[in-house]
Amino acid sequence: MELLALVGIAVLLLIIGVPVAFAFGSSGLLVGSYLMLFGGNPYVLTFLPNRLEGIFNNTTLITIPLFILMGMILERSGIAERLINSIAKLFGSLGGGAAMGVILVGVLLAASTGIVGATVVMMGVIAVPTMLKAGYNKSFVSGVVAASGTLGQIIPPSIILIILADVLQVSVRDLFSAAILPSVILVGLYILFVLGVVIFAPRLAPASSDATKDLRSLGLEALKMAIPPIVLITLVLGSILAGLVEPTQAAALGVMGALLLAFFNGKLDFHLLKHASRETLVFCGMVFMILIGANCFTLVFNELGGDVVVLEFFSQYLNSPFYFMLVAMLVIFILGFLIDFFEICYIALPILAGIAIHYQIDMLWFALLVAINLQTSFLTPPFGFSIFFLKSAVGDAIRIAEIYKGVIPFIVLQILVLGVMFLFPQLTLKSDDWAKILEFIF
C-alpha cells in the first residue's frame, strides 16, 4: 500500500504541474515521514543525509559544471556562429551541401560545446533562413538542424555520458571511448540520408545559386573557423582518451581553452563571464535538485521493497537478459516521449541498473545503449526539447507539424544505431581497444 502511495503521489504531483525534482522529492519525504511516524520504520530517512553527502563529495560530478561553463563561454564568444556561417557558405553551392555542412557543424559543436539548446537555436537562426532561401523543403531542414544539434548528447565529452557513468558506476574514460563508434556510425547515416535525398528527391535539397566567393577562399575561411574548436576537442577529449588526465582535470583545461579562444576572438569581457556563470549555475542547480529529489524517492522506494517487486516481475515473466534489455530499452524510449533525460537517468535508471547487475550484464554496454536511446528523447514528439528549441528559433517560418514530420527519419536512424549496438555488444570499444586499433593501423 505504501509503495502504491509513493508512486501515486509522485504521479499526481507531476500531473498538476509540480517540477519533477520536487514531485519525486516530496513524495519520498511524505511517505518516508509516514513510515517513520506510523509505519514502524523510524530510520528510513536517516540515511538520506549520507546519500546527499556522497553526492556532494563525488568528484566525477564536478565535470558537469566545468563542461557546461566551457560550452557557455564558446557559445557567447561568437566562434560557433562564425563557424556555422563559414561552413554553410562553403557547402551551399552543392546539392544538399548546406545540409551536410550543418551536420559537420553539429559534430564540431557537439564535441566542443555539447549544449543542445544553444546549438539548435544558433543553427535555427543562422542556417535555416539560408537553406529555406535556397529552396530546401521545410520538414527536411527541420530534421537536419534538430538532429545535428542533438549530437552533443552522444558525442564526447557529453554531459549525459558523465551522468550515466556516475549512475551506473562505469569509467567516464571508457564510456567516452565506447561512444565514439556509434557517434561515427550515426553521423555517417545522417550524411548518407542527405545524399539519398539529393539523389532520389533533389527538389527537397537544391543547390544554392547565391555564391559570393570562390571555393578556395570559402574553404580557407571555413578551415580558419574550424581550427579553434578542433584544437579544443583535441586538448580535452584527446587528453581523456589517452589517459593523460582525469575527466575533471580535462574539463578544467577545456574552460581555460575556451577563455583563451574568447580572448583571441575579442569577446572576453565581464558580460561574457557573467552570462556564462549565471547560465551554468542555473543549469547545474536544476541537475542537482533532480538528483537530490530522485535520491529521496529511490531511498524510500527501495526501503519499501520496490526494487524487489520489479526484479520479481522480470524474473517471473521475462527471465532472460535479452528480454530484459529489450524491455528496458523500450521503457526508456517511451519515457523519452514524456520526461527529460535527467529524470530518466536519476529515477528510472537506478531501478533498471539493479536488475542489469542481477543478470550480470556488461554495465558499459548497458550505459552506451541507454545513452543512444536517451538521445532520441530530444527528438521524439510531443516533448522533444530540440523540437521546441528549433521552433523558438524559426518562429512562424516553419510550422510545428513540419518539424515533427522532419525529425521522424532521424529518429529511425538513431533507433537503427541502437539496434546495431544492441545486437553486437562487441562493438562497445574501451580506450584500450582503440589503442590496439590505432597500433594496428599505424
CA 346 to mean position of chain CA atoms? 14
Name residue 206's amino acid.
P
Query: What is Dmax (Cα atoms) for the chain?
Result: 79
- Phi-psi label, residue 346: left if phi above 0, alpha if psi -120 to 50, beta otherwise: alpha
Residue 208, pLDDT score: 66
Distance, CA of 300 to CA of 133 (rounded, Å)? 56
Neighbours of 58 (CB within 10 A): 11
Residue 2, pLDDT score: 79
In DSSP notation, 134-166 reads: TT--HHHHHHHHHHHHGGGGTSSS-HHHHHHHH
The CA distances from residue 148 to 35, 102, 190, in Å, are: 48, 7, 8
Could you tell me the three cell numbers for 258?
575556451
Neighbours of 235 (CB within 10 A): 16
Residue 141, pLDDT score: 92
What pTM was computed for the model? 0.86
Could you tell me the three cell numbers for 20?
519533477
> Could you identify the residue written with the cell 538532429?
147
Distance, CA of 270 to CA of 275 (rounded, Å)? 9
Residue 285, pLDDT score: 84
Residue 364, pLDDT score: 95
Residue 435, pLDDT score: 73
Residue 22, pLDDT score: 86
> Which ranges of 242-320 would DSSP assign to H, the alpha helix?
247-264, 270-303, 306-317
The CA distances from residue 101 to 24, 60, 323, in Å, are: 42, 34, 40
Distance, CA of 421 to CA of 423 (rounded, Å)? 6
Tens of pLDDT along the chain (442 residues) come to: 778 888 888 888 888 878 878 888 888 888 888 888 876 777 778 778 887 777 777 777 888 888 888 888 887 777 777 777 777 667 766 777 888 888 988 888 888 766 777 778 878 887 888 788 888 899 999 999 999 988 988 898 888 898 899 889 899 999 999 999 999 999 999 999 999 998 898 888 887 665 555 667 777 777 777 788 888 888 888 888 878 888 888 889 989 988 998 888 888 888 889 988 998 888 888 878 888 888 888 888 888 888 778 778 777 777 788 889 999 999 999 888 877 778 888 888 888 988 898 889 999 999 999 999 988 888 887 767 788 888 888 888 899 889 999 999 999 999 999 999 999 999 998 877 877 777 777 6
Could you tell me the three cell numbers for 213?
566567393
Cβ atoms of 407 and 147 within 8 Å: the answer is yes
